[in-house]
């Protein structure tokens, strides 16, 4: 029975380790399925590092457990010394050279993958250039023809998309895991990244740099669609839904989905939200006051964007106080 214990423990450990990998298929500690060449290469590098790490972990832990059992005291008194062992040159060489080889392989793989992670394919003709601007607490996208959207970036599936990443206030981090690595949006600096979505669909992401109280609400999305659908979407300088995008992606974060108030005051019955000029002043300049401040969330918004927001607010959010809507102001 005692002889069988070490092998039993070893089998148990291997089973546990492989069960973890199997369960991870996705949604566990495995990276999200890649849908862009750079994301694929990041995932490849991940699995190489993971493979070595898992192998070393299982090996070391198994030997540790085996030695704990083999060299236990067996009722010997604490004062009695155990068997004396001396150096073992070959063993020491192995555990020095082996890790060096592993690190060399990992470094080689990473340096092989890096260039194609960093740079878009040189064969790419006419990548689509889009500016991604980080704001507390939303992402704004400017398309080549001057169109603009908020929250969700629309691109043609299969096209190489070159992103210019900037920030208008604090440091944010653009990250759509299925489409590549993180890139910081830093005030006063322009960063670049790229992706090529290999199939139509919506890819979700999240600001990956703590940027303030609503960092967690700073979601990002990329909608990859057909070329026709993409062109239809950006055909108007302000896409038809821009007012709704501004409301749900920007205003609602602080003022609540219905304008009922939250971190910011209730605004659903405030007449200012129906007045383009007054609203533009608040959005572009912000508000300072003893009761709290509102940042200039719309400091880069056009008149067209603000008009679209007012249209949306009048239709969907504004509830005159006399009709018995929520109170506040």
Among 153, 166, 178, 211, binds ligand CUA (CB under 6 A): 211
Residue given tokens 């979505």 in the structure block: 197
Q: Whose Cβ is closer to ligand CUA: residue 215's or residue 284's?
A: 215
Residues 157-176 vs ligand CUA: string with x where CB under 6 A? ---------------x----
| Secondary structure of 193-216 in HEC code, one letter for each residue | EEECCCCCEEEEEECCCCCCCCHH
133 and 166 Cβ atoms separated by less than 8 Å: yes
Residue given tokens 């669909």 in the structure block: 201
Segment interacting with ligand CUA (CB under 6 A) among 80-88, 207-215, 246-254, 286-294: 207-215
Instruction: Check binding of 207 to ligand CUA (CB under 6 A).
Output: yes
Residues 215-234 vs ligand CUA: string with x where CB under 6 A? x--x----------------
Q: Whose Cβ is closer to ligand CUA: residue 129's or residue 215's?
A: 215
276-285 and 303-316 helices cross at what angle (nearest 10)?
Answer: 120
CB of 286 to ligand CUA, least distance (A): 17
Residue ranges of alpha helices (H) inside the chain are: 4-24, 37-70, 89-118, 227-234, 242-246, 252-255, 276-285, 303-316
Instruction: Check binding of 151 to ligand CUA (CB under 6 A).
Output: no
Instruction: Check binding of 297 to ligand CUA (CB under 6 A).
Output: no
Residue 93 sits at the vertex; the CA angle it makes with 92 and 95, to the nearest 5 degrees, is: 65
CB of 140 to ligand CUA, least distance (A): 12
Segment interacting with ligand CUA (CB under 6 A) among 62-70, 95-103, 190-198, 202-210: 202-210
Among 209, 223, 249, 308, binds ligand CUA (CB under 6 A): 209
**196 token code pair:** 């090529």
- For ligand CUA (CB under 6 A), the number of binding residues is 9
CB of 24 to ligand CUA, least distance (A): 27
- Chain centroid to CA 39: how far? 12
Instruction: Check binding of 134 to ligand CUA (CB under 6 A).
Output: yes
Residues contacting 131, CB < 8 A, separation 6+: 141, 142, 163, 164, 165, 166
Q: Whose Cβ is closer to ligand CUA: residue 294's or residue 321's?
A: 294
Which among 294, 244, 287 has a CA at the least distance from the CA of 264? 294
Residue given tokens 């489409």 in the structure block: 179
Segment interacting with ligand CUA (CB under 6 A) among 22-30, 206-214, 223-231, 290-298: 206-214
Residue given tokens 């000029």 in the structure block: 277
Instruction: Check binding of 182 to ligand CUA (CB under 6 A).
Output: no
Q: Note the residues at the interface with ligand CUA (CB under 6 A).
A: 134, 137, 172, 207, 209-211, 215, 218
């Amino acid at each position: 029975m005692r002889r069988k214990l070490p092998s039993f423990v070893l089998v148990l450990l291997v089973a546990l380790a492989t069960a973890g990998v199997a369960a991870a298929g996705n949604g566990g500690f495995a990276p999200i399925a890649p849908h862009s060449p750079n994301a694929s290469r990041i995932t490849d590098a991940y699995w190489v590092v993971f493979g070595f790490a898992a192998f070393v972990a299982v090996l070391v832990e198994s030997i540790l457990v085996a030695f704990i059992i083999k060299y236990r005291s067996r009722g010997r008194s604490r004062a009695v010394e155990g068997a004396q062992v001396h150096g073992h040159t070959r063993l020491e060489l192995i555990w020095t050279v082996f890790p060096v080889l592993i690190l060399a392989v990992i470094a080689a793989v990473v340096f092989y993958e890096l260039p194609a992670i960093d740079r878009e394919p040189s064969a790419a003709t006419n990548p689509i250039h889009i500016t991604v601007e980080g704001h507390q607490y939303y992402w704004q996208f400017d398309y080549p023809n001057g169109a603009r959207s908020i929250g969700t970036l629309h691109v043609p599936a299969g096209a190489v998309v070159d992103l210019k990443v900037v920030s208008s206030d604090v440091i944010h981090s653009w990250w759509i895991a299925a489409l590549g690595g993180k890139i910081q949006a830093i005030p006063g600096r322009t960063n670049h990244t790229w992706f090529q979505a290999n199939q139509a669909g919506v890819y979700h992401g999240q600001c990956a740099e703590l940027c303030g109280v609503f960092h967690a609400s700073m979601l990002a999305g990329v909608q990859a669609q057909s070329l026709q659908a993409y062109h239809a979407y950006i055909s108007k300088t302000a896409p038809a839904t821009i007012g709704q995008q501004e409301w749900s992606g920007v205003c609602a974060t602080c003022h609540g989905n219905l304008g009922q108030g939250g971190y910011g005051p209730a605004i659903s019955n405030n007449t200012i939200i129906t007045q383009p000029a007054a609203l533009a002043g608040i959005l572009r300049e912000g508000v300072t006051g003893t009761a709290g401040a509102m940042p200039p969330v719309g400091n880069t918004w056009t008149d067209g964007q603000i008009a679209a927001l007012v249209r949306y607010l009048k239709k969907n959010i504004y509830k005159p106080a006399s009709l018995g809507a929520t109170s506040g102001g």
